[in-house]
Every structure is written in C-alpha cells, then in structure tokens.
Amino acid sequence: MTDNCLFCKIVNKQIPAQIVYEDELVMGFKDISPQAPIHQLVIPKQHITTLNDLTAEDRSLLGHMVFTASQLAAEQALSAPGYRLVMNCNQDGGQTVFHVHLHLLGGRQLTHLG
Ligand code: 5GP
Ligand code: ZN
C-alpha cells in the first residue's frame, strides 16, 4: 500500500469499484470513465508506479495480468470479435494514475491508436 494511491485504495477496498475479478495477485474492475462498451482495468495488488519500475521478478506478474485480461475478454464474448490491451507509461504515454494497470477495451470497432 502506497499512501494516496487511488488504485491501492481500490485494492484495499477503501474506495469502491465495480470489481470483476480478484485473486491473490491481481484485481480487475470497471473503468470509471469507459472509452468503449467494455473498459476494464487489471492491476497488480502490489503497488508498482510505472512500467519503468518493473523488475525481473515482476515478469510473471505481468504475464498473469495479460492472462487475466484475456480470460475477462473471453467471459464477455470478446475473443472472436477482438479487443485491445493497453498500458500507458508516464506523461507522453498518457498515464494519469501512477499504479501500473492494463486496460481491456472492447465491444466496438477500435480504430485509432494514438
Ligand atoms: P491511464 O490514463 O493512467 O492509463 O488510465 C487511468 C484510468 O483510470 C482512466 O481510464 C480512468 O478513467 C480510470 N480511473 C481514474 N480514477 C478512477 C476511479 O476512481 N475508479 C475507477 N474505476 N477508474 C478510475
Ligand atoms: Zn498503488
């Protein structure tokens, strides 16, 4: 837990979120400002500020996040039509919450990247 981190507060249930998945390592919840019919975030329960802060020990955790997102996509019938996974890093990448997260976007044709 890092003080004043929004997503750590969601992990600790100090602020509410519409949680769609949780295990010992990760949590999935609906984005508060969806950019697509399905827009969910998968985050590590452990605080990691940006992708720049990953260590070699985090490699399996990141794989678990991607696998979790693919399972959430499948549960929501997105596998065949397709979906997008996005991770933003720092200012130019568009990161606004500084706790690593993976966006799952789907349910419409996604066109522009950037
Ligand atoms: P970023 O721009 O950092 O890649 O993405 C942060 C995402 O977190 C945004 O899509 C934003 O809508 C979402 N978000 C920000 N605050 C909250 C919140 O309090 N609850 C939830 N569920 N999502 C949030
Ligand atoms: Zn955090």
Closest CA to 51 of 90, 14, 92: 90
Mean pLDDT value across the chain:
97
| pLDDT for 1 beyond 90 | no
Q: pLDDT by residue (tens digit) across 30-64?
A: 999 999 999 999 999 999 999 999 999 999 999 99
99 in active site: no
Q: How far does the centroid of ligand 2 lie from the alpha carbon of residue 29, in Å? A: 14
* Between 3 and 27, residue with greater pLDDT: 27
- CATH architecture type of domain 6-106: 2-Layer Sandwich (3.30)
Which atom of ligand 1 sits closest to the CA of residue 30? 22
Q: pLDDT by residue (tens digit) across 66-96?
A: 999 999 999 999 999 999 999 999 999 999 9
By three-state DSSP, how is residue 30 classified?
Answer: strand
For 1-7, the CB contacts below 8 A with 24+ separation are 1/47, 2/47, 2/49, 2/99, 5/47, 5/98, 5/99, 6/97, 6/99, 7/43, 7/47, 7/97, 7/99, 7/101
The pTM score is 0.97
| Rounded Cα gap, residues 86 and 101, in angstroms | 9
Residues with a CB atom less than 6 Å from ligand 1: 6, 17, 29-33, 88, 94-97
| pLDDT for 114 beyond 80 | no
Q: Work out the pLDDT band at 2, boundaries 50, 70, 90.
A: confident
The DSSP secondary-structure symbol of 35 reads S
Length of the chain: 114
Structural contact between residues 5 and 99, judged by C-beta atoms closer than 8 angstroms: yes
Q: How far does the centroid of ligand 1 lie from the alpha carbon of residue 98, in Å? A: 10
